[in-house]
A = this chain, B = another copy of it.
Amino acid sequence: MDYISKFEELKSKNLSLDLTRGKPSADQLDLSNDLAAFRGNYFISDGVDIRNYGEIKGIDGCRELGSKILGCSKDYIWAGGNSSLSLMSQFLSFLFVEGNGTGPWSNKERVSILCPVPGYDRHFKLCETFGINMIPVSLTGEGPDLNEIQTLVETDESIRGIWCVPKYSNPTGEIYSSEVTEGLLEIFSNSKTKSIIFWDNAYAVHDLSDQTPLFDIFSLAKNNDCEDVVVEFGSTSKITFAGAGVGFIAMSELNQESFLPFYSALMIGPDKLNQARHVRFFQENDLQEHMRRHADIVKPKFDLVNNRLESMGLGAWTSPEGGYFILFESDIGMARNIISLAAELGLKLTPAGATHPYGIDQEDKFIRIAPTACSIEELDAAMDVFSCCVGLAYEQVRKV
């Protein structure tokens, strides 16, 4: 059937499908239902009544859990509320109000952060919100391009850091190599302005098959005596409940000392009951085994998308070994059209440009596909629509 007929046929179905957000599906969430069902007295932890105020850095057991997930020492880790994004925003507020050694960022005429692209829209939104200038840098398949970064840092003194999603990067799915990471540490610890590597390790244990942990950036940094340049984030959002997990922030001792008074002004303590639930849940459930169960649900979806894209045979796409996204790359200038065609058929796709700072994908070719939230059947229907819209868009270009 030609694409136009297929398009009309699909249109008549009045579909309502969504491949926009990297959300776990209901059956993934079901894996953690026991988390919400603890009974009995688990209110005392290390002699502290966790129902009450206090314990600003989180309870010990939960910091330990964070260290298992992020692969760094427990001493670096604070366990917070349900959102690592909140911790990022609180750390940015701190930089905005107090700065990191050279005065408040709010006093500076221009503060820039490097944003590897394609990247995570929520990082970009945070920067935009705090008035931080974003400078895109290319990704290489194993992290950002060090030469590009070196040149930028040497020529632009407004640069104060970089966003990184080091494992199964959102949305390219690539894993940073230790060489690239050491390069980043070297560049940013030697840069003229004090800088921060925002190390958002959101998919640290979110493997589809091989469960190889990422190296620990703090160990690398310690070897190079530059621990203070790193602030790491993570959470259980895509391990337990997306909306009711525990977020983590990890920092050197010095950074903890600087941040603590500010952070302590913002609240009296995190929800330690939810932290205790998580500790108990992972006493009863092995973390690796739990993530394997996630993979059992998620991998068939990634495979389905891959197979459908292969049989379509247009454009290029990633085949990540973990994380939440597949990145489709059309020919230049087609992404917007594909997304708008899909919308006509009732398939929501992440807006064109969402993968880039300020929503501007100059080449108009990247589309982020988030296959996890829907069922296999919905995903199959969505890929039907997607393939048709890509085909039609390519056909329209050929005809012009």
Q: Which residues of A contact B (CB under 8 A)?
A: 21, 23-24, 26, 29, 32-33, 36-40, 42-43, 49-55, 81-83, 85-86, 89, 93, 96-97, 104, 106, 122, 125-126, 128-131, 237, 241-244, 261-262, 265-274
Chain B, residue nearest A273 (CB): B244
Given contacts A21-B53, A49-B29, contact A273 B97 (CB under 8 A): no
Q: Which residues of B contact A237 (CB under 8 A)?
A: 53
- 16 interchain pairs, CB-CB under 8 A: A26-B49, A29-B51, A51-B241, A52-B241, A53-B243, A54-B243, A55-B243, A81-B81, A81-B86, A83-B269, A96-B97, A106-B106, A129-B261, A243-B268, A243-B270, A274-B274
Q: Is A242 a contact of B85 with CB atoms below 8 Å?
A: no
Kindly report which residue of chain B lies nearest to residue A265, judged by CB atoms: B129
Chain B residue nearest in CB terms to A48: B243
From A131, A262, A268, residue with most partner B Cβ within 10 Å: A268
With A49-B29, A93-B93 in contact, do A37 and B39 touch (Cβ < 8 Å)? Answer: yes
Which B-chain residue is minimally distant from A89 (CB atoms)?
Answer: B266
Which residue of B49, B50, B244, B273 is within 8 Å of A51 (Cβ)? B244
- Chain A at the B interface: SS class: loop
Contact check, A273 vs B49: say whether CB atoms are below 8 A apart: no
Given contacts A26-B49, A29-B49, 13 further A-B contacts (CB under 8 A): A29-B43, A29-B51, A29-B52, A37-B40, A52-B241, A53-B242, A54-B243, A83-B269, A86-B267, A89-B93, A97-B131, A242-B268, A243-B272
Contacts of A128 in B (CB 8 A): 265
The answer to whether B81 touches A271 (Cβ under 8 A) is yes
Contact among B125, B265, B267, B271 with A265 in the assembled complex (CB-CB below 8 Å): B125
- Indicate how many identical chains form the complex: 2
Complex Cα spacing A97 to B43, Å: 39
The answer to whether B89 and A267 have CB atoms under 8 Å apart is yes
Q: Are A89 and B265 closer than 8 Å at their CB atoms?
A: yes
By CB atoms of chain B within 10 A, which of A24, A36, A55, A106 has the most? A36
In the complex, how many angstroms separate the beta carbon of A148 from the nearest chain B beta carbon? 27
CA A165 to CA B36, docked complex, whole Å: 35
Q: A52-B24, A86-B267, A129-B262 are in contact. Are A36 and B273 (CB under 8 A)?
A: yes
Bound-state CA distance A27–B377 (Å) is: 52
